Amino acid sequence: MFKDIYTNESIRDLASRFQEYYAEFQRDGFIERASRNLDELEMKERINQIANAISEFLPQSYPSALKIVLRAMRSDTKFGFSEIRGFLVWPLCQFVEDKGINDFYLSLDALYEMTKYFTSEVPIRAYIIKDSDKVLKKMQDWVQDEDVNVRRLVSEGLRPRLPWAQRLPMFMESPGPVIDLLEKLKDDSELYVRRSVANCLNDISKDNPDMVIETVTGWSKDASKEMNQLIRHGCRTLIKQGHPNIFPLLGFSKDPSVRVEEFSTSSDSVALGEDAIVQASLVSDSDLDQKIVVDYKLYSVKANGKLTAKVYKWTTVDLPAKGEVSLRKVHKFRSVTVRKYYAGVHFIEVLINGEAKKKLKFELTV
């Protein structure tokens, strides 16, 4: 588990680093404060507790404390310290988020350095909310930085709906400045960055679908294989929602002429833990070959008895003129942490390029 990264041992190592760079450092007090009831804490609670201990036991002057934090993070052969990387850097980032907002540019420069060791995508959001114009101005330089992690910080840090982080309402409403920066990153040489651009684009599409479609329409002209992959990933929510204007941009037929002749499940009743086999027969009414996206929407019963819908990917089909194709899909009814099934009448609906075509019902027993 990620929380187990923050252990008594890693806290003692951090304390040793601080001790070398701060003569008045109270090592034992820091260790006790940072590791208090550690076993009872979840990951973010551990991060916050370590960050609070840093604030308490390093100099109360934020610039002085930050200088020590950055030195502790980097490698130092003089003291035999290797660099700190990955999740162990998060409490240091949290310290900057919590204490550095009044030293705005100093903190931005620190997050710039920290993201090379562990992403600063979460703490930088406090600074974006405080003064987005100042951060955006910095990011104009960062999009050209030689470090891939810095370039990715731009697209990932600006995601309006970044999971497990506070949202950016100003860019949910008006994402123009974000798209301007994505334009400069969309052809990045690193997949790591392009994937982040796609995720940011997908976030934007949830509030501004037309703006995203307008953007990718320009990107799709003479697009490379890599660009088509970015567009497809960045528009995955629009695809699921069946937005009609997105499919032609991805190379699929516009307004396909397709009938669903047969649509069935293997049984009218499925027990939790079993599989439902879904089958469909698609028939083309067009004199032209068609390329289509086939998905299915599952309407599940919630604990309160109401239905909730979720779209699942099925396949893409090259359907010949006046042709027919038979499809088969296995849906596993297994309750997991993020999804629990309840007994009752469920529905499955087949979607062609996002358009609902046929719906059937079955009983789920628990």
Residues 244 and 265 in one domain: no
Residues 143 and 91 in one domain: yes
Residues 265 and 244 in one domain: no
Residues 265 and 340 in one domain: yes
Give the strands of the sheet with 324-332, arranged side by side: 258-265, 275-284, 324-332
Q: What share of the chain is helix, strand, coil (3-state, %, to 5)?
A: 45, 20, 30
Task: Return the structure tokens found at 8.
Answer: 């008594």
> Helices 104-114 and 132-142 sit at what angle, rounded to 10 degrees?
40
pLDDT 10s digit of each residue in the chain, 366 long?
A: 788 999 999 999 999 999 999 999 999 999 999 999 999 999 999 999 999 999 999 999 999 999 999 999 999 988 889 999 999 999 999 999 999 999 999 999 999 999 999 999 999 999 999 999 999 999 999 999 999 999 999 999 999 999 989 999 999 999 999 999 999 999 999 999 999 999 999 999 999 999 999 999 999 988 899 999 999 999 999 988 888 889 988 889 988 999 999 999 988 999 988 889 999 999 999 999 999 999 999 999 898 989 999 989 899 999 999 999 999 999 988 877 667 888 999 999 999 998 899 999 999 998
The CATH number covering residue 240 comes to 1.25.40.290
Residues 238 and 355 in one domain: no
Asked if residue 330 lies in contact with residue 287, where contact means CB atoms within 8 angstroms, the answer is no
The whole-number pLDDT of residue 77 equals 85
Residues 268 and 227 in one domain: no
What lies within 8 Å, CB to CB, of 344 at 6+ separation is 301, 305, 363, 364
In whole angstroms, what is the distance from residue 318 CA to residue 335 CA? 34
Residues 48 and 186 in one domain: yes
Residues 228 and 292 in one domain: no
Domain of 13?
2-249
The single residue listed with the structure tokens 């651009």 is: 197
Q: How many domains does the chain have?
A: 2
Residues 204 and 306 in one domain: no
Measure Cα distances from 62 to 21, 31, 100, 102 in Å.
15, 20, 7, 9
Among candidate residues 180, 215, 249, the one where a domain is terminated: 249
Residues 297 and 182 in one domain: no
What lies within 8 Å, CB to CB, of 62 at 6+ separation is 99, 100, 102, 103, 106
The whole-number pLDDT of residue 2 equals 81
The CATH number covering residue 322 comes to 2.60.40.10
